[in-house]
A = this chain, B = another copy of it.
Amino acid sequence: MSEIPYKTYLHESEMPKAWLNIKGFMKNKPEPLLNPATMKPCTKEDLTPVFCDKLVDQELNVTDKYIDIPKPILDFYKLYRPSPLVRAYGLEKALDTPAEIYYKFEGNNTSGSHKLNSAAAQIYYAKEQGLKAVTTETGAGQWGTALAMAGAAFDMPVKVYMVKVSYEQKPFRRNVMNVYGAQVVASPSDTTNAGRKILAEHPGTNGSLGCAISEAVEAALCDPEHNTRYVLGSVLDQVLLHQSVIGLETKAALDKLGVKPDIIVGCAGGGSNLGGLISPFMAEKLEGKSDVRIIAVEPASCPSFTRGQYRYDFCDTAKTTPLAKMYTLGCDFIPSANHAGGLRYHGMSPVLSKLYDDKYMEAKSYTQTEVFDAAIKFARIEGTLPAPESSHAIKGAIDAALECKAKGEKKIIVFGLTGTGYFDMKAYDEFLGGRMSDYIPTDAEINIK
């Protein structure tokens, strides 16, 4: 056995002090957000009614390579970071591969995922701006939980519009948010015009993420004191920025071990975890200092990279957001009920879309039964019960390791294990009981303009 430990934790003093802004390293910048009313690039003035001022600055910042992490956020990170970089000795042995496999595990906090990295930042800037509350939406509940935790720490009221079907079927998720003091509203609700309209038209509706977003944005905009803002957990450039802490820690730990990755694998929904994980490695690649392979893994049921088009599209179903140039399946695309709820998004981070279009990264897709098969193998060998989203990266890493085995190549594979599957047991049960099916959308279903 090698001298590399199973788990590597950075010392607190080795934690990153600045986030990495990947846009600062890109010669070909991503296309700007467009105001759909004018079709001109969004200005700070366009965005600050909805988002916190400092976060808008970060969203529009395409030049700075690094942005200092404010001390209160660093202190909050110390509550649950650094996260471990794990050498998957068991998985390597089970696969009988010459490859070395590492994973960065972001699930060791109560929210159960990497979402907390951006929640802390967004809540902090809201507090700094003197706001009285933030609003957001949540589907499965990980983002809402993360935001509630950060809200409790920074004493910032949080109002979460939770898709009604989750609100009713996942009361425990809602209860966790309540423990942290967040107000959780089943969406659609009668607290907004958007909610009331939907309820009038579809009285029995279970809600949708699109509707919950509309309610959360409206609740922020319609605060008569204009002292509330909306926050979002993925897709945006600012979220990738905050998530760069994942990749920076990963690189610092690998550097300590004297290990240089050949292949990096991450799951991709809106792109925040993947963008964060790859950030310092992509920066080196953009500077011509590295030829690391970067592989985005997405569900075959929602294949924005592998089957989408790179074009301007709305970020939401209701077409209320700015237009983003991104890989998209069309904002009207309704993903099938894949259990990796965090990957069910029609679009993709504009930054990652540009990097993919410029061939700095690859993408592949898997069906959910392939993914759950890998998840259960991983759980039994490595101990940790992975989230379905994260299990896409596990499947990608396993396939990369088997490719190494076939070719007799001793490569270094690093993947992102973004979270735990505690709240996804219904899906595991369906898989184990043989009741899970796969769905691959037809060409007609995607690319709806």
Contact = CB atoms under 8 A, between A and B. Distances in A.
Nearest to A80: B383
Nearest to A15: B5
Interface stretch (A41-49, A188-196, A210-218, A425-433): A425-433
23 contacts: A5-B11, A6-B12, A7-B78, A9-B9, A79-B383, A109-B383, A149-B383, A152-B379, A152-B380, A152-B381, A153-B380, A171-B425, A172-B425, A175-B425, A175-B426, A176-B385, A176-B422, A176-B428, A179-B379, A179-B428, A180-B380, A181-B380, A422-B422
A382 interface: yes
Interface string A167-202: 000011001101111000000000000000000000
Given A152-B379, A181-B380, A380-B181, A78 B175 contact: no
A-side interface size class: 35 or more
A376 interface: yes
Interface in A71-88: 78-80
Contacts of A428: 175-176, 178-179
A108 interface: yes
Contacts of A171: 425, 429
A179 B381 CA distance: 11
Interface string A72-107: 000000111000000000100000000000000000
A63 interface: no
Contacts of A129: none
Contacts of A176: 385, 422, 425, 428
A420 interface: yes
A206 interface: no
A12 B1 CA distance: 13
A381 B382 CA distance: 31
Contacts of A78: 5-7
Given A179-B385, A379-B110, A385-B110, A79 B6 contact: yes
Interface string A412-430: 0000000010100110110
Given A7-B12, A78-B7, A179-B428, A108 B108 contact: yes
Nearest to A172: B425
Contact of A79 (B90, B178, B180, B432): B90
Shortest 5 CB-CB contacts between residues of A and residues of B: A5-B12, A172-B425, A152-B380, A6-B78, A175-B425
A197 B381 CA distance: 39
A35 interface: no
Interface string A1-27: 000011101011100000000000000
